[in-house]
Amino acid sequence: MKYSPLLDELIRELQVLPGVGPKSAQRMAFQLLERERPRGQRLARVLERALTEIGHCQQCRTFTENELCEICANPKRAQKRQLCIVESPADVAAIEQTHLYSGRYFVLMGHLSPLDGIGPRELGLDLLESRLQSEAYDEVILATNPTIEGDATAFFIANLARQAGVTVTRIAHGVPVGGELELVDGTTLSHSLAGRRPLE
């Protein structure tokens, strides 16, 4: 025990945060105690509330404290008849920032990973399947990460979509815009070559 029992406990519990070890936890505890008590109290209250109230959207599984997230609750979003499949809520935010997509999303909250016990059920693929059957989509856009697991998950979902008679597309993978060819890794470059398109 280095400090008073309560301070030691605070430093220990702060280490639940990713990337926070004993040293940074100590620095955080001291900063809060010395200078940020009111904001620290607010953090404690928001954390308590968020962890109690935030669940998953019943349609797309993203994080929300309501029954439906804002996108699923917006009837304009349904008109497009497009469904974009992503791995995490952060991916939704990234695609929204492009302002190029106005359909709906389905958030897997992960990817297929049998070794970690994450199968189709854990990703809500039964819910996805019934949505694909009951709602009339024109296109399913697969935007899972370009990793082995992400690709496997995309492949699995492509089959579900085809069974439901929906067109399936995958977002393009290739050389990032502004990137230099000689700095791009081989796999990306292979994807980029294989995915070449005729110039119009």
Footprint of a copy of itself (CB under 8 A): 2-7, 9-10, 13-14, 16-19, 24, 26-34, 36-37, 39-54, 63-66, 69-70, 88-90, 93, 96, 109
**Strand 167-170 to strand 139-142: parallel, antiparallel, or no bridges (unpaired)?**
parallel
CB of 97 to a copy of itself, least distance (A): 8
C-alpha distances (whole Å) from 42 to each of 32, 65, 127 are 11, 18, 36
Measured from the CB of residue 4, what is the shortest distance to a copy of itself in angstroms? Answer: 4
Spatial separation of the C-alpha atoms in residues 167 and 184, rounded to whole Å: 31
For residue 113, report the phi and psi dihedrals to the nearest 5 degrees. -160, 80
User: Which C-beta is closer to a copy of itself: that of 71 or that of 83?
Assistant: 71
Shortest Å distance, C-beta 3 to a copy of itself: 6
Containing 107, the helix (H) or strand (E) segment is strand 104-107
Cβ burial, residue 158 (10 Å; 0-12/13-18/19+):
middle
Q: Provide the minimum distance between the beta carbon of 98 and a copy of itself in the complex, in angstroms, as a whole number.
A: 13
